[in-house]
Amino acid sequence: MLDTIPSLTVPSIYAQWHHTVARYSSRHLTQYTDTFPAVSGLASIVSTYLTNAGENAQYVAGMWSTSIRTDLAWCSTESHPNVDRKPVRHPTYIAPSWSWASVNGKIAFSSENRSGKDTDGDASAELHTPDLTATIEKWDMQLSTRDSFGPLASARLYLRAPVVDAILEYYSASSSYFLNGPGGGPAQRIGHMTFDVPPESEGFTVVRCIALFRIAECEHARYAKEPTCGVGLAVVPVKGEEGVYRRVGRVGCLRMRWFEGVGEEGVVLV
């Protein structure tokens, strides 16, 4: 990546960051606490190039503030050479649940917006630009060291977005999880869910679904024959903290009609 950065467009730099992080996630670190330190040098270089290109990009838990809504669309994948290695959460705090760095395992970024950047109508964006539904208001990060690209002690993300309650259902025929509306079943389909960590598929049957952005077409056409589709997050409440949630998965093929007329909520992700 370092050799190619000088010749890349800004959207391509974000895309390359996604590609590099995805490749990095497939490796097995001797110490899981090295998750952020291992990429801090590269993050610093990318930050410099983005700044020189006129981007006010801040580093936020392994993501960039200027692409954070599409960065949030990462998902875990089990397509790893070592079939015994399943994604797991780290035994101690490394990153907030909404960051790819919170998972020890291979991840991938959403293919819906290959430019990677939150363009907000930027005509120079590569390929299609998503209609960004969620609004990121602010973030609060506490670093463990003085290195702004280094380890985190804590982090919270504050956003406003349409949110709906959804029933989690498993379909053995396709070995897939889906989020459905009241009553359940395919007719009430909201979206297709990919858990961040498999064990988290146990213990609850209802999640809250946050709409992140719309897309031009669904990645799995057989699941969503809708005029508008999107990508979202599945979250569950943090006990004892009103309005605070932790991420448990990514929702693809999100049927945006479920969010029509739904007012925005203030949501805090940890």
Kindly state the average pLDDT of the residues 226-245: 91
**What's residue 220's pLDDT?**
59
**What's residue 123's pLDDT?**
29
Kindly state the average pLDDT of the residues 202-216: 89
**What's residue 40's pLDDT?**
96
Kindly state the average pLDDT of the residues 256-265: 92
Of 157 and 133, the structure prediction assigns the larger pLDDT to: 157
Say yes or no to pLDDT of 113 above 70: no
Say yes or no to pLDDT of 79 above 70: no
Highest mean pLDDT among 98-112, 173-187, 252-266: 252-266
Say yes or no to pLDDT of 72 above 70: yes
Say yes or no to pLDDT of 4 above 90: no
Say yes or no to pLDDT of 66 above 80: yes
Say yes or no to pLDDT of 202 above 80: no
pTM of the model: 0.87
HEC-encoded secondary structure of the chain: CCCCHHHCCHHHHHHHHHHHHHHHHCCCCCCHHHCCHHHHHHHHHHHHHHHHCCCCCCEECCEEHHHHHHHCCCEECCCCCCCCCCCEECCCCCCCCCCHHHEECCEECCCCCCCCCCCCCCCCCCCCCCEECCEEEEEEEEECCCCCCCCEEEEEEEEEEEEEEEEEEEECCCCEEEEECCCCCHHHEEEEEEECCHHHHCCCCEEEEEEEEEECCCCCCCCCCCCCEEEEEEEEECCCCCCEEEEEEEEEEEEHHHHCCCCEEEEEEC
Parallel, antiparallel or unpaired: strands 152-171 and 176-180: antiparallel
User: What is the end-to-end Cα distance of the chain in Å, rounded?
Assistant: 30
CA distance 256 to 213: 9
**What's residue 133's pLDDT?**
85
Q: How confident is the model at residue 110 (pLDDT cuts 50, 70, 90)?
A: confident
255 token code pair? 């049927």
- The percent of residues above 70 in pLDDT, for the chain, comes to 81
Say yes or no to pLDDT of 141 above 80: yes
CA of 206: how far to CAs of 15, 81, 90, 184, 217, in Å? 33, 33, 24, 11, 27
Q: How confident is the model at residue 30 (pLDDT cuts 50, 70, 90)?
A: confident
* Mean pLDDT taken over the chain: 85
